[in-house]
Chains A and B, each alone.
Chain A
Amino acid sequence: MAIGPGQTSTTLTPGGTRRASLVLFGPAIAWTLLCAAGIGATMLDDDAWSAVDRSRSVAVGSARCQTCHPREHEAWFRSYHRTMTQAAGTQAAETQPIVLAPFAGEHLDALGFRAIMTGGPQRPHVRVERLQPEPGQDPLVLDADVELTVGSHRYQQYVARIDRGGGPGERWRLPVAWHVELSRWIHINGAFLTPEGAWGDEADYLRHLSRWNDNCIFCHNTEPVPGLDPQGQWNSEVAELGIGCEACHGPASAHVERHAWPLRRVLAGLAPHQDGSVAHPGRLSAGLSADVCGRCHGNRIAADLADVLAHGDGFLPGRPLSEVSRPILRDATLGDPPQRPFEARFWPDGTPRLSAYEYQALLSSPCHQDGAGLSCGDCHTMHGPEPSMQLWPEHDTSAVCGRCHEAATLSDAAAPGGHGRHGAIVGCEGCHLPRVTYGLLEGMMSHRPTRPRPQVLLDRDDQPDACTQCHVDRSRAWAAGALEAWRDGAPLPAPEPGEISRVALDLHGGDPIQRALAAAALTRSEAPADPRTRMAWLVDALEDDYPAVRWFGYRGLRRVARQSLPDDAPAASVLEALDVSNAMEDPGLRAMMVDQLRAILGPGPLAAQPELEQRLHERRDDRAIWIGE
């Protein structure tokens, strides 16, 4: 800046005045004019505000989203969605471990085969050998480096590149998985609802050696393209391993390009809902929002399977899911002549029995109101602080239900304990979203709000009711009587002499899902029944023919025993008895474990009625239920 001698006088000449003002105010005025011009041009620029053809967008990856959406990115980074699929051996120092299993030389024997896990978390490797090969038979069954991990919440599965006729890009899920809660290996057959299989039968051992390229790839990655070519070779690609931002928001290249201009970002608040360059599930209608989740949380039948296997499912978040597929429902048909192969996945009233059918459960609920009412986002948020279940902070089911079902208008609202008479200890979900869903070796909450009506199931064995899933030592007749007494304001009925628990009947006479859910019900800490009794009954599940049911029994015993400590000394003995290596896979070791547990806990629920137990076992529905994972 140059100040002339003439400007130092106590008064300025007109030229000096202008120069002083120009020097002091000129830059700010120039900036202001520039901004005004930029704002005007941006607001008038049709490209900055008009809807874009999102189908032409390509995925950019979640890391790009972090710059502008750090808080959302941080929440996503903590989520199990992010870690749904990860490349093994690419551990970043600041994150949780990718490979959760030790891979330190452990082995797992099952069905006459031994899986040996080596290489550590950096170079995990699985080798499977026959324990007793026939003369001249190659003992080696499988020998592979783990390339991908799938899951990190309940159990972690491992995927390796194995060419079994599908080319070098073919990947397969391996037959062993790491159970996170138990910190131990399980054979993957145990997570599925199929019988044990024959000892030494390779096909049975590898029954769930599932191909990643046309199974896991879809719901465990972002923008998956299986890439099946006409020669039957797999050239699979994903935009991002795991469920990244663009799995729910859609490919974001148009969004990133539009918002590269700072003034467009600054002005975005003036018209927050007029972007259209990316989907925002929270601002979609209930139906379209549920469609985003239903892409993975609702098993579907593709409109054009060949196209899906070649190019991906073609779904764009924000568009109706029905454009590319139809949900699998109880009466869905396949083939010609049409068959109904999915009935076993649903209870007789159409409520899904399996997880990954939450979408169907919501659709079949009157609360969803054909896409205008309840949706996934009413209870769940993908950007909250809690990665498990991903409920809204301070989530209160009664507040969600209360939007339509005002507490004061519910039947018996003024009675002691309020509607349902359970007081605050049982929320709406306790009775209206019962735990009648099997998934990932857990008994899960139904996502279809229903009324508990044990009275209509009195003569039926094919569906559990909400009451006895919690009152595990009671019969269905007692539940129906209790519900009637509740309506009349009368005291609850006393148990009938000789009453047999509904859960005990299901544990012995139900199909595999009923048996697993019965064991899950006995495990619940809120079940109003003596923990010793529940543990004694759970031992029966250890003798089931289905490994999945046995796992429910095993884990249930551990959980109840831990809940009982330190008040119950036998609980420690139970934990000690359960701590036998490979007992769940080896029938001989398991029989010894059961004997030991019986000695500690006493007989099961039907020990005094062997004829009934026999009848139930004969009636037992031992079908295989295909989960579809």
Chain B
Amino acid sequence: MTVVTWLAILVLGPGSLAVFWFFLRDLKAVMGERRSNDERDSRTEPGVR
């Protein structure tokens, strides 16, 4: 269980920092023009919906 605790610490700490780094990279797109769900899905995932 001690090993699991260390693993959880390593995933949560560096893992959350990695997700945050990707968020900063996406920031411009998130703050950009608004599109509807349909528009986005049809552009990024043709044939899915």
Co-complex (A, B):
no
Q: Which residues of B does A touch, CB under 8 Å?
A: none
